[in-house]
Amino acid sequence: MKEVLNFLQLLEQNNNREWFNAHKADYLHAREQFEQLAGRVIAGLGQVDPYIKGLKPSDTLYRIYRDTRFAHDKTPYKNNIGSHLSRGGKSSGNEGYYINIQPGNSFISGGIYMAAPDKLKAIRKEIYLFPEDFRELIEAPSFVKNFTFFQDDKLKRPPVGYPADFPLIDYLKYKHFCPWIPMPDEWLDYPDLSERIVEMFTLMKPFNDFIHRAIEDL
């Protein structure tokens, strides 16, 4: 995976179409390397999560091209390569597992990011109705040891309809229910990288199961 990281580092320094077109073969090689990683993770994770089994690695990868139509930043390419393993596909909006390789910001995560309003409402309701189930997940020693939650866009006040004294009210303020763990750059040198990722995703699976339970009927 260091080849992937090296390409992305060069892309950060040369984020323009002329350079990218001249190095298109390097990008395709990096993408192939990342796709192979995703394939190994799918094969391993599919043994414990049936929703992942059978996914095509190429279908889990996001495009490297940025949509700059309404963006202040007009650089044409992303500086990361990402793969989302999810039931229904990467654009389904369902819970899943995410692999991100990016210079200085590689990580893996689970759960659901930018949940649609109906799904966000359902997740909050599930936590409110079954707080002990949720607490058991987030207070498990393996969870506490490895994962934190994305804090982006967190509400400052409790969502409408929920009492401020609810013991888990802080979690109801989240808009993204994503346990995550950073991947140090040295991880990318490890020959057992896919096994390490599968191990972490396996620890995330009970959390994903809870999210699935909350939104499966939507």
- 122-135 pLDDT, tens digit per residue, is 999 999 999 999 99
Rounded-to-integer distance, Cα 39 and Cα 6, Å:
21
Q: Stretch 190-201: mean pLDDT, rounded?
A: 96
Instruction: State residue 145's pLDDT score.
Output: 97
Instruction: State residue 2's pLDDT score.
Output: 87
Instruction: State residue 51's pLDDT score.
Output: 94
- Amino acid at site 42: I
Instruction: State residue 157's pLDDT score.
Output: 96
- 37-74 pLDDT, tens digit per residue, is 999 999 999 999 999 999 999 999 999 999 998 888 99
pTM confidence score = 0.95
Rounded-to-integer distance, Cα 196 and Cα 1, Å:
14
Percentage of the chain beyond pLDDT 90 is 91
Q: Which residues contact 68 (CB under 8 A, 6 or more apart)?
A: 74, 75, 76
Whether the pLDDT of residue 204 is over 90: the answer is yes
- 139-156 pLDDT, tens digit per residue, is 999 999 999 999 889 999
- 73-115 pLDDT, tens digit per residue, is 999 999 999 999 999 999 999 999 999 999 999 999 999 999 9
CATH number of 2-215: 3.30.930
Instruction: State residue 197's pLDDT score.
Output: 98
Count of CB atoms within 10 A of residue 171's CB?
19
- The candidate with the shortest Cα–Cα distance to 120, out of 173, 166, 175, is 175
Q: Stretch 22-28: mean pLDDT, rounded?
A: 97
Whether the pLDDT of residue 185 is over 90: the answer is no
